[in-house]
Chain A
Amino acid sequence: MKRIFIVAVILVIFSGMISKEGADACHWAPNKGLADISQWAAINYFLWYNQPNWQEYSKRPTYEQETRIADKSFASYSWYNGYWVSTLPKNYFDVGNSFDAEDNFTVGSLDAELIKNNTWYYTSIALRPDIAGRSSTVKLFGQLGNHPWWCENAWCSAGQYWCNLAEFTAPARIWWQK
């Protein structure tokens, strides 16, 4: 009985260490959100309870909300009648490169320090199905990056840390919590 108790205590401490490590790795990421991903749109709402001290991570922090879609035949962004909007401060839109292994539809904020606590941020990107009726694994990632002092625009943002916020099969509409 005593042995079982000791093993249980060790396991609890160990699992606590693991979850703490996981939490710390994502300390800067939004706390919860709603994702609605289909072949027609990638919509994300998300918020932070407590802002991290961004300066701990970067002098010029940027934040990106990434929707990564594993199946490249699931949906595309059309450069001929594409549409995106967001309420992230100083926002920008980006898509991954065609030679990347997965699609990555991203809206970012060039100045993460303008992000407020307890505020819902919204990003939406219109997509079009490549092959109708497909489903795909989707991973939502938060990305904390930085931009060099000599470049104040989105294209200079470079990712430093990534946090996997949620993983599911799309089309789906899910609430996620960190």
Chain B
Amino acid sequence: MFTMKKWLICAVIIIFTATLLFANETHEKSHLTVEVKDGLVSLDAKDVPLSEMLEEIGKRANPSFNVRSFITNRVTATFENRPLKEVINQLVKKNYAIAFDKQNNHLKTIFLLPEGSGTSTVILDEDRDIAKIFPGPNSDAQIDIDEYIKKRHQCLDKLQIQSGKNSLTAQLSFNEYIPAPEIIDRLKDKITISVFNIGWKEMAGGYNVNPSYSKEEVLQDLNFKHEQFLHNILQDKESLLLNSENLEMRRSAEDLFQNATEQLSMMGQGVMTYGAEVSGTTEKIKDLLADPKIRLIDAVECNVETKNLLAQEGYKQTRFIILPLKPISP
């Protein structure tokens, strides 16, 4: 039979053990240890805000970097001597903007953006107080490209609902190469084209459209320049072949002439394009999505989170540079 005194001792022991266990559990619930040595990160974290984790890495990294967070995600993660790039990629995933200093290419700030913001790179040109923003897919993987396209098109839907009459500048990417006259015909009366992304197979380039030119003048000037440069390549054929000392060089020269010849033979259709920078109302730009040959429309307005964040950081001037996605070679 337990006496009262024994009951009391047992109760004290139980309470003491429970307190210890509870205290330990509390400690275990959230913890963070970070070490950065020679660019390698070791980290053990449980249920810690992502921003806090990155701030700790940023403080220890050389050169150090800052974190500006607009999310409250908590994460659990373990890394043992992993490169900084890998750790950041795995932790930050897809909704972020990375700003770096143009002078020395050092990572400066990671902006953690709300879900759906997508990936951007930001170059801080402190000499001129301009932040250049480059939105783009997280990688060349199809899954990332598809997600990027989906998000941008969802954004256009939203913009159209908010105000379809507002004017946008957008970058179009085509599924396949399309002759410039066909693109002008498809887009005329809807939007204004400022740049054509031109090319064929391994050749790629750009043409800036003069806003004061008529459609005919644009095509005439583009055709003239393109044809002239392609003819130049063919004129240089003998000289290049003479200076090609081996078969491999001669073959590569022949490939170049072949490409120029193919493009010249297609000039009846016009110069091949794979994208265009355009401007017009949200409604009109949104309408372009009905065209099955238009693969992606990305607009500055779909990347405003980053712009706003940079404005908060003191960068009042921002410039967006959106590059087209190239189609698979025909």
Q: Which residues does A use to contact B, with CB under 8 Å?
A: 32, 34, 36, 41, 43, 45, 47, 78-87, 89, 91, 93, 116-120, 122, 124, 126, 146-156, 158, 175
Interface of chain B, helix or strand or loop or mixed? mixed
Per-position 1/0 for B297-330, Cβ under 8 A of A:
0000000000000000000000001010000000
Q: Evaluate contact between B229 and A148: CB separation under 8 angstroms.
A: no
Interface Cβ pair total, 8 Å cutoff: 121
A56 to chain B, nearest CB (A): 19
Q: Which residues of chain B have C-beta atoms less than 8 A from A152's C-beta?
A: 121, 136
- Contacting A83 at CB < 8 Å: which of B107, B205, B240? B205
A-B interface, 4 closest residue pairs, ranked by CB to CB distance from nearest: A85-B205, A118-B248, A119-B252, A151-B121
B132 at the interface (CB under 8 A from A): yes
B284 to chain A, nearest CB (A): 23
Q: A34-B243, A81-B210, A150-B107 are in contact. Are A120 and B321 (CB under 8 A)?
A: no
Q: How far is the CA of A80 from the CA of B210 in the complex (A)?
A: 4
Q: Evaluate contact between A118 and B256: CB separation under 8 angstroms.
A: no
Q: Evaluate contact between B240 and A82: CB separation under 8 angstroms.
A: no
Max chain A Cβ within 10 angstroms of own Cβ: one of B85, B136, B198, B204: B204
Q: Evaluate contact between B256 and A87: CB separation under 8 angstroms.
A: yes
- Contacting B226 at CB < 8 Å: which of A83, A116, A154? A83
Contact-size category for B: 35 or more
- Contacting B240 at CB < 8 Å: which of A34, A78, A84? A34
Q: Which residues does B use to contact A, with CB under 8 Å?
A: 85, 88, 98, 100, 102, 105, 107, 121, 123, 132, 134, 136, 198-199, 202-213, 221-222, 225-226, 229, 232-233, 236, 239-240, 243-244, 246, 248-249, 252-253, 256, 259, 321, 323
Q: Evaluate contact between B243 and A32: CB separation under 8 angstroms.
A: yes
- Contacting A87 at CB < 8 Å: which of B98, B105, B198, B203? B203
B222 to chain A, nearest CB (A): 7
Q: How far is the CA of A116 from the CA of B213 in the complex (A)?
A: 40
